């Protein structure tokens, strides 16, 4: 998956609930050495509907939860969290109920 020089690898992106309908449940994407969460998610938004599902303007939609390898990006570097070969990015919409 990674070239000898480390120039490219792959990450798995998992979408849950309504987002799985828009993007599919799992997507594998190549990443380069400077890829971060915002670049990855932005690259997946190839239609206005998909863009609107994840972003409001340039910001991530409020109340979406994004995990990298099970850790919330709020406790990492936010949308600037670097991605590496083999990482798993999980995206959850807000969950309501009781």
Residue 22 within any structural domain of the chain: yes
Residue 4 within any structural domain of the chain: no
Model confidence, pTM: 0.87
- Contacts within 8 Å (CB) and 24+ apart, 73-79: 73/37, 77/36, 78/37, 79/36, 79/37, 79/38, 79/41
Residue 59 structural domain: 17-92
Mean pLDDT of 14-26: 93
Question: Residue 39: beta bridge partners?
Answer: none
pLDDT tens digits for range 31-52: 888 799 999 999 999 999 999 9
Residue 1 within any structural domain of the chain: no
Query: Please, which pLDDT band fits residue 98 given cuts at 50, 70 and 90?
Result: low
Residue 97 within any structural domain of the chain: no
For the chain, how many structural domains are there in total? 1
CATH number (domain holding residue 21): 3.10.20.30
The whole-number pLDDT of residue 33 equals 81
Residue 45 within any structural domain of the chain: yes
């Amino acid at each position: 998956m990674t070239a000898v020089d480390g120039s490219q690898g792959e990450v798995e992106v998992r979408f849950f609930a309504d987002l799985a309908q828009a993007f599919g449940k799992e997507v594998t994407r190549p990443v380069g050495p400077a890829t971060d969460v915002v670049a990855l998610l932005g690259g997946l938004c190839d239609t206005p509907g998909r863009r609107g599902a994840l972003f409001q303007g340039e910001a991530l939609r409020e109340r979406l939860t994004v995990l990298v390898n099970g850790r919330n990006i709020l406790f990492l570097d936010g949308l600037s969290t670097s991605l590496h070969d083999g990482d798993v990015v999980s995206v959850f919409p807000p969950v309501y109920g009781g």
